[in-house]
């Protein structure tokens, strides 16, 4: 336990010192702010650029959330995975972990500490981004008809845990950053593909990333999200256990 | 008591058998030189002792507890210094030792006390710059400090001096010598003068096996031949000596160099008796008679032949 806490502290410091957290925080914050503004002003920008283009509809608050979910589930999480893809490969290639492990730091603690810090930083970045979108959307539209705004955000956040858990497996298996990222991307793509197959679509965590906007607009009900959220949660824990198991057998 | 025992250890990489039925014991309190060529398997053996590599066969015990791969329980007795130790570059030495101390669950007071002692021991006490800017010698010294933080029973150093300049080497050897009173030191090397300087036990690793092991004196006595140097004041004395009938058996294994004659033999006592008799009979007075200590180098070359 003391090893875990010490390593969590070290990971926090490291993510501050190498600007990883700063970059992610900035990316997520910019996306949060941009979501509302882009939704609001895209029609005006477009009409300014092409005067003869007719805008068919006025932008609404829902458009801001569409931007938010598109950006965060796509670029935001990708940035996260790309930046954290090197969290173990750096230590492998430099050999810094050897000294820690030979001092009695358990391998489980290494994985759990890295995961804890990644999840914590993801959570902070994500909810800052959410707060920015929420604030500016309220400011620009003052629309109160939207339902389950928080619940929709929680469901995408839960998927973040799953992505990071998959990333940990990738990082444990592969010694190169690039292959770990590729592995994570591959598994995420696989999950979305499986999510399209009818009999299992209802249970797939894919719903949590694809139907958030439908939830806000009222096209789907929160109950449909409960099982996928549960599945995502279970898979995250399962993924972590696999990562720890594989790491125990890894030659450092 | 032995701090470390290795029994029938084997390890292959692919088809190449690096360690082949290796047996070794390191007695408590010794400074143990683990000698072998580059690629002989020294690092591989050490990594197996640390549970970082899985052996194909065999058993390793540290302080009578078995070592398991991937497990770190026996590592509480061991301090490890890899050949090129790497640290987190953004930390200062004191921050790094603090992290290590927290990992092994030392109290705050204990961490600062031990860090202070160890950093003074390795001469890094006043250094406040980040480890990223350290020279190799400094990293090596910090490596020793972190390895000793756990107050290990056994300190394992993997070629601690091979990449250092003469000053750095001397510093490391001095530190190892200083701590040898409290900790058993096992260090691998191919620099034999280092072994002769600080070790009292040694083992030669060759083709995956221990070719020779024992105390330094035992090894020197067991293996290799002894030599005797004779220096004459004039060449005619040397020629006269060589002409003696009873000197013939002594000259079978000998070297001649100006007015010097070096006699090699596995039975030095007989050589000395014969020699003194000849000298007494002929009245030749050499200016120097010296019994030469067998060097580790000649032993090493003999072993790896």
Residue A56: pLDDT band by 50, 70, 90 thresholds?
Answer: low
Q: Please say which residue of B196, B222, B248 terminates a domain.
A: B222
Residues B242 and B260 in one domain: yes
Q: Does A7 touch chain B (CB under 8 A)?
A: yes
Residue A121: pLDDT band by 50, 70, 90 thresholds?
Answer: very high
Taking a C-beta distance cutoff of 8 angstroms, is the pair B24, B203 a contact?
yes
| pLDDT tens, residue by residue, B65-90 | 999 887 668 888 899 998 889 999 99
Residue A95: pLDDT band by 50, 70, 90 thresholds?
Answer: confident
Q: Please say which residue of B222, B251, B284 terminates a domain.
A: B222
Domain that holds residue B280: 226-304
Check pLDDT > 60 for residue A73. yes
Q: A53-67, A143-157, B256-270 — which is least confidently predicted?
A: A53-67
Q: What is the mean pLDDT of chain B?
A: 87
Residues B138 and B242 in one domain: no
B75/A99 Cβ within 8 A:
no
What is the number of structural domains in chain B?
2
Residues B196 and B232 in one domain: no
- Which of B54, B103, B106, B151 to probe by mutation at the A interface, max A CB count within 10 Å? B103
Closest residue, chain A, to B88 (C-alpha) = A96
Residues B146 and B256 in one domain: no
B50/A3 Cβ within 8 A:
no
Residues B7 and B94 in one domain: yes
Nearest residue to A116 via CA among A84, A71, A83: A84
Chain B residues with beta carbon closer than 8 angstroms to that of A104: 72-73, 75-76, 103-104, 150
Q: How far is CA B53 from CA A92, B12, B46, B149, B305, in A?
A: 14, 11, 9, 23, 29
Q: What is the mean pLDDT of chain A?
A: 89
Residue A237: pLDDT band by 50, 70, 90 thresholds?
Answer: very high
Domain that holds residue A240: 2-248
- pLDDT at res. A177: 92
Phi-psi region of B267 (alpha: psi -120 to 50; beta: other; left: phi over 0): beta
Instruction: Show Cβ contacts of residue B210 under 8 Å, excluding neighbours closer than 6 positions.
Output: B22, B23, B24, B203, B204
- pLDDT at res. A9: 94
Residues B23 and B143 in one domain: yes
Taking the CA atoms of residue A38, residue A44, residue A46 and residue A50 in that order, the dihedral angle to the nearest 10 degrees is -170
Distance of CA B167 to the CA centre of its chain: 18
Nearest residue to A31 via CA among A165, A161, A136, A186: A136
Residues B135 and B189 in one domain: yes
Residues B56 and B77 in one domain: yes
- pLDDT at res. B223: 59
What is the number of structural domains in chain A?
1
Q: Does A19 touch chain B (CB under 8 A)?
A: no
| pLDDT tens, residue by residue, B191-242 | 888 888 899 999 988 888 888 888 888 887 765 567 888 898 888 888 888 8
A25 burial (CB, 10 Å; 0-12 / 13-18 / 19+) is middle
Q: b or e along B161-182 (b: 16 or more beta carbons within 10 Å of the residue's beta carbon)? A: beebeeebbebbbebbeebbee
> A7 is written with which tokens?
């390593």
Q: For A176, which DSSP code?
A: S
Residues B110 and B218 in one domain: yes
Q: What are phi and psi of A229, to 5 degrees?
A: -65, -40
- pLDDT at res. B101: 92
- pLDDT at res. A55: 60
Taking a C-beta distance cutoff of 8 angstroms, is the pair A216, A148 a contact?
yes
A95 burial (CB, 10 Å; 0-12 / 13-18 / 19+) is middle
Q: Does A91 touch chain B (CB under 8 A)?
A: no
Helix, strand and coil content of chain B, in percent to the nearest 5, comes to: 40, 30, 30
A252/B150 Cβ within 8 A:
no
Among the partner-chain residues B73, B75, B87, the one whose CB lies closest to the CB of A96 is B87
Q: Please say which residue of B169, B192, B222 terminates a domain.
A: B222
CATH number at residue B298: 3.30.70
Residue B92: pLDDT band by 50, 70, 90 thresholds?
Answer: very high
Planar angle of CA A237, A238, A241, nearest 5 degrees:
90
Residues B9 and B122 in one domain: yes
A6/B99 Cβ within 8 A:
yes
Chain A residues with beta carbon closer than 8 angstroms to that of B48: none
Helical residues (DSSP H) of B151-293, grouped into ranges: 166-179, 192-198, 216-222, 235-243, 268-282
Residues B35 and B95 in one domain: yes
Taking a C-beta distance cutoff of 8 angstroms, is the pair A192, A162 a contact?
no
Question: How long a stretch of residues is chain B?
Answer: 305
For residue B120, how many other CB atoms are within 10 A of its CB?
A: 12
Only one residue has tokens 């987190």, namely B88
Residues B174 and B258 in one domain: no
Residue B248: pLDDT band by 50, 70, 90 thresholds?
Answer: confident
- pLDDT at res. B162: 82
Taking a C-beta distance cutoff of 8 angstroms, is the pair A172, A110 a contact?
no
Residue A202: pLDDT band by 50, 70, 90 thresholds?
Answer: confident
């Amino acid at each position: 336990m003391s090893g875990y806490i010490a390593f969590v502290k070290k990971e926090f410091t490291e993510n501050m010192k190498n600007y990883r957290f700063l970059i992610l925080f900035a990316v997520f914050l910019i996306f949060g702010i941009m979501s509302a503004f882009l939704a609001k002003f895209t029609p005006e920008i477009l009409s300014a650029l092409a005067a003869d283009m007719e805008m068919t509809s006025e932008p609404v608050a829902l458009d801001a959330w569409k931007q938010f979910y598109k950006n965060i589930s796509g670029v935001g999480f990708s940035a996260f995975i790309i930046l954290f893809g090197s969290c173990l490969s750096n230590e492998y290639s430099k050999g810094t972990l050897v000294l820690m492990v030979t001092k009695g730091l358990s391998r489980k603690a290494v994985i759990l500490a890295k995961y804890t810090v990644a999840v914590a930083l993801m959570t902070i970045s994500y909810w800052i981004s959410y707060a920015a979108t929420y604030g500016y959307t309220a400011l620009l539209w003052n629309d109160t008809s939207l339902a389950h705004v928080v619940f929709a955000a929680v469901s995408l956040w839960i998927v973040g845990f799953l992505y990071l858990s998959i990333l940990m497996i990738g990082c444990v298996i592969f010694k190169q950053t690039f292959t770990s990222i590729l592995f994570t991307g591959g598994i995420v793509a696989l999950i979305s593909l499986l999510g399209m197959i009818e009999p299992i679509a209802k249970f797939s965590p894919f719903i949590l990333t694809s139907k958030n906007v439908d939830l806000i607009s009222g096209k789907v009900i929160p109950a449909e999200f409960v099982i996928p959220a549960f599945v995502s949660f279970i898979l995250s824990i399962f993924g972590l256990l696999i990562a720890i198991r594989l790491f125990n057998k890894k030659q450092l | 008591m032995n701090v470390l025992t290795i029994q029938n250890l084997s390890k292959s990489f692919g088809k190449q058998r690096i360690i082949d039925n290796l047996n070794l014991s390191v007695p408590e309190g010794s400074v143990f030189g683990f000698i072998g060529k580059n690629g002989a398997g020294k690092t591989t053996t050490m990594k197996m002792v640390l549970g970082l590599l899985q052996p194909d066969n065999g058993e390793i015990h540290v302080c009578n507890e078995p070592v398991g791969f991937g497990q770190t329980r026996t590592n509480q007795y061991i301090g490890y210094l890899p050949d090129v130790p790497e640290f987190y570059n953004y930390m200062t030495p004191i921050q790094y030792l603090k992290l290590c101390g927290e990992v092994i669950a030392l109290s705050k007071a204990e961490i600062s006390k031990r860090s202070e002692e160890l950093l003074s021991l390795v001469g890094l006490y006043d250094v406040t710059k980040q480890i990223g800017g350290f020279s190799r010698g400094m990293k090596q010294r910090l490596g020793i400090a972190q390895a000793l933080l756990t107050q290990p029973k056994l300190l394992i150093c993997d070629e601690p001096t091979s990449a250092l300049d003469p000053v750095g080497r001397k510093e490391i050897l001095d530190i190892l010598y200083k701590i040898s009173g409290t900790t058993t030191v096992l260090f691998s090397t191919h620099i034999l003068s280092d072994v002769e300087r600080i070790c009292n036990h040694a083992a030669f690793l060759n083709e995956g096996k221990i070719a020779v092991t024992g105390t330094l004196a035992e090894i020197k006595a067991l293996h290799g031949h002894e030599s005797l140097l004779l220096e004459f004041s004039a060449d005619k004395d040397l020629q006269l000596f060589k002409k003696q009938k009873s000197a013939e058996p002594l000259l079978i294994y000998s070297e001649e160099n100006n007015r010097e004659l070096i006699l090699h033999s596995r039975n030095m006592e007989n050589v000395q008796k014969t020699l003194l008799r000849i000298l007494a009979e002929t009245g030749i007075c050499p200016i120097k008679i010296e019994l030469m200590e067998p060097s580790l180098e000649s032993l090493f070359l003999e072993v790896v032949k």
